[in-house]
Amino acid sequence: MKVGVITTPNQKGQIVIPKEFRKALNIDERRPLQMVLRQGCIYLYPIAEVITDVEREQSYVEILKKTAGAWAGDKTWDKTRARRRRIELAASRRRKQVW
């Protein structure tokens, strides 16, 4: 029976990932790893890209700017309401034509 690689944690609970595993998964000191605890086992997954909270907030702002909608430039609620109504009616007419 082949057991594989056996390792023990040090006093801080740290373990060493064997060199052949690191090489096979392209893991180095810059590669983040996701650690998952599932059914009494620990799974490690190398992550290709990590989005920080700042980057996430910036990307949300960019998405919101791009998807501001047809009424993003309206100054008053009356204009917005009228434009939304026209858009909704046009969409409704298109759906009816499909039927």
- Ramachandran angles phi, psi of 40, nearest 5°: 75, 10
d(CA 2, CA 85): 70
Total residue length of the chain: 99
pLDDT for residue 51: 67
2 and 44 part of one domain: yes
pLDDT for residue 53: 67
3 and 44 part of one domain: yes
Mean pLDDT of 27-38: 89
58 and 45 part of one domain: no
Q: Which of 5-14, 16-25, 74-83 has the lowest mean pLDDT?
A: 74-83
- Which structural domain range is residue 59 located in? 53-98
Please tell me the total count of domains within the chain. Answer: 2
